[in-house]
Structure 1
């Protein structure tokens, strides 16, 4: 991956000589320096190098199922053909292999890495059934979750069921029957030992959720009869409960009766007679706080410090305690909460990415066809942003967004990458380009 230094430039400034990266990292080619006309660079300190520093790279065959996660303690890569699947931890700065272990051939995606444990979802081997006519039918038999120690690569535990989420050293696993249609149980387990801490019976349970606030240790469940329970995630203690008629009789696939949690508010959507109602309840008492009406709610989710609601009219930010609308952005489509204070609005066709200040609804930056580097941790860190360049064309500008100030600090240009082909942790960013997985340091 080539890197181009931006430096501090003016419109009439001559192009500086190309930085020579060959002495730092032979595997990266040297890039020619060019002025990035689309960006305005400002500063009050003497000019200094701010270009991303290429650290190392490793081959990655993207033609087979592969996955990677960038954490502060390592880059984790799941790759290899079905009969040679391996999970490898690399030192994030040097690329040294810390450990590499074989994994099941049907492990295809890295899920949560929390509290020093990788929670790896693995599809069970399909069951072959012989039919009366002599033909064979392959039937899936559910999923397992495997816990792997991040320090050693040692497998700690294997449990039946799908991993729903991890919070405060607890993992919530949904255990389904062999058909995948009936929920046997919802189990909360210790992520280090795999031991069951407490279990919620699955019979009659329709859906469940946790608050978006990583410090909130609650689990909210809704049954088919409309009974909503709020429990302490750590031990299963019942905090409060209430039967909500709008959820009664709804199946777990019925999106007309959604359940969600944002901050300290439980949210439900009810569609009746072509009209939708969004109601908010206090998580400690299940007392109704407020309600809003619309033709249809496309989505609702916490985007601290507000509640974000998407409808056909666009995305709006609301006060969690009162439901009062604080701001409105026109145009519907997909919106994603990236971190505290930052929302990514992708519009109707997801053809462009606009970063939005969730406190005010104002545009921070329009990344056009660019995107961001996903953050795999639960830390609130600066967001790495990627912007395709027009002059010079064919490169990607890399910067970091400070959520506190709303300012993007541009670091330089790299070889073109797909909009969401990068993941970041701290100042490090890993990106896939062709057959390589490359790591860069974005620190000034």
Structure 2
């Protein structure tokens, strides 16, 4: 096999990045993933039982997916073979499987680590099935995308999905301490700058260690960097956000639920997060219109108007001025009274429409533009509502075969309180004039 250092033009004595020098040598050294590797974690139970099944690791970058896979191979005496779905194709997969089959014939198993496994297409993912089922390889895939959407159901059913968490302040702090031990001196930053450094890493341990390495490089002997000096020297990481992937759907879900939960501060935060991540404001505007109708409805009829006008204002003004009316809309929707009654009535009515098929309206409410239709009873007995004392006739508008279902049930919140009173009033008129049948 070609020596990796030679192939890259480096010698084995070439300097290694701090993140590589601090790579855990055992699973006990992995930080931030105790829910998987602790005494009661699923990975620890697998290892204690001596049976490692195929796995898909799902989590953000820099939290240890590759490292854990490599250590699992070491602890189970499997040959570690790694490929990346970004750089590999069918030929590479075939070669990896052939090597695994050759090892198996000599009694040696293979842990095949596939980075960014979601990048393989359906046919390529299907190619894994016989080798996973037959035990030729123990597959460990890594993905930053939701496996439910990005990995074939057949392959996913043969793997256990394990979610890796972004590193919290404790885990990031442990990495800094290990770097200080390795370097033999404290990180040369002020206490406040240390906290800012962890914020800049945004839960990515590998990125944090890269920042730490830069701090050691920039700070001279005896220097202690302030927050300002450190921020000037380092580049803050862009927020993890994929406009076509999980980040896109997770953050719009967070915005929608914050609006529904009447929390304007949280709603504004997620709105800002999407903007900072590069989301198209027009997408957010469209979703705000949906929220206005789905979650507010007639509890505040002005919400729909505000959302529609905010979307139009952005189209006229563009970025950045057009973001102001969108922010106005976010606050309005979050603080408005909530009702999903109109939204739910649509689902109920469509279900009834599917069930009842082609039932005709009552002839009473059908127009009779011809004498033949009049003879057939079209329009016979129709009461013009405006001619009644209350302005409501109370007559039946449903097919006679249906009875009288209820689809719209106003909540009594916000403006819908008046709607509820009005509906109760009409219901009494309906009983008094003609009944419900």
| Same fold, judged at TM 0.5 (above) | no
Instruction: Please give the TM-score of this superposition, normalised by the length of structure 1.
Output: 0.20
Instruction: Please give the TM-score of this superposition, normalised by the length of structure 2.
Output: 0.20
Ranked by relative contact order (alpha carbons within 8 Å, sequence separation 6 or more), the top structure is 1
Q: Which of the pair has more CA radius of gyration?
A: 2
Q: Which has the higher strand share?
A: 1
Q: Which has the higher helix share?
A: 2
